[in-house]
Amino acid sequence: MAQQAVPSASPATPAARPAPLPLRVPVREILPWAVLAAVLGVVLIYFVGAEQGATSLFGGTWVHEFTHDGRHLLGFPCH
């Protein structure tokens, strides 16, 4: 007797699949991490794009030299 790998649907048996549950996004759990990621992103963009260029919080040119390739890669004005 041959068995089918995929059972065929017959109109006599109703579908036994449960109704899909709506996806719940816990905003209160995600919000602090989203704020942290946004702050870190803004700090990173500042150091790559503006530090020791338009503005300067640190003396010397080491931040500029460290982020120089990223500055050119992202299209920030440099030199």
Residues 68, 71, 76, 79: what is their CA dihedral angle, to the nearest 10 degrees? Answer: 20
Name residue, tokens 């996806």. 23
> For Zn ion, which is the closer residue by CB, 17 or 79?
79
- Name the minimum Å distance from CB 24 to Zn ion: 47
Residues of span 40-79 touching Zn ion by CB under 5 A? 78-79
- Name the minimum Å distance from CB 71 to Zn ion: 6
- The answer to whether 28 contacts Zn ion (rule: CB under 5 A) is no
52: which residues sit within 8 A by CB, 6+ positions away? Answer: 58, 60, 61, 63, 64
Q: Which residues lie near Zn ion (CB under 5 A)?
A: 78-79
